[in-house]
A = this chain, B = another copy of it.
Amino acid sequence: MTRQVDQGKALAAFQRACAGTKEEFGDFFLTRLLGLEITYPGDACEVAFEVEDFMLNPRATLHGGVLATALDICMGHLINHQASPGATLELKIQYLDAATRGRVVCRGEALRRGGTWFLRADARDSAGTLIAYATSTWKLLRKPK
């Protein structure tokens, strides 16, 4: 395969990651590297980013691990936003379609809150096609704020 990663775009992402000095919810090295934009519309959390070619797998589609990272961040940030920091007990992701470029938007919602949280999230590509569907179970690490 003769595909080459656009090193200029990768460098820009890396510099963005290094420019930040916080390591906290909403703004840490991985969120800056992947260019994640995290918002909280209504009761949900949304995590949006542009697919860059440094995020691809050998088949030139968005790596499932990158999508897993964005979906995990989406659900973890929702819990932190609505309660307090949590730890992922388990995460399952179904990969419905491949993304190759454009903007991906993950949207997570709580199915049940409590000492144990149950959540779901999905990811859609720029055409609105469902590309991944996730469910996860978390425990709160301390009492809600």
Residues of A in contact with B (beta carbons under 8 Å apart): 1, 3-5, 7, 10-11, 14, 17-18, 21-25, 28-30, 33, 53-60, 63-66, 68-70, 72-73, 76, 85, 87-98, 111-112, 116, 118, 120, 130, 133, 135, 137, 139, 141
Contact = CB atoms under 8 A, between A and B. Distances in A.
A18 B58 CA distance: 15
9 shortest A-B CB distances, which residue pairs? A65-B69, A68-B68, A92-B92, A96-B112, A90-B94, A29-B54, A3-B23, A14-B14, A65-B72
Q: State the oligomeric state as a number of copies.
A: 4
Contacts of A54: 17, 29-30, 33
A55 to B, nearest CB: 7
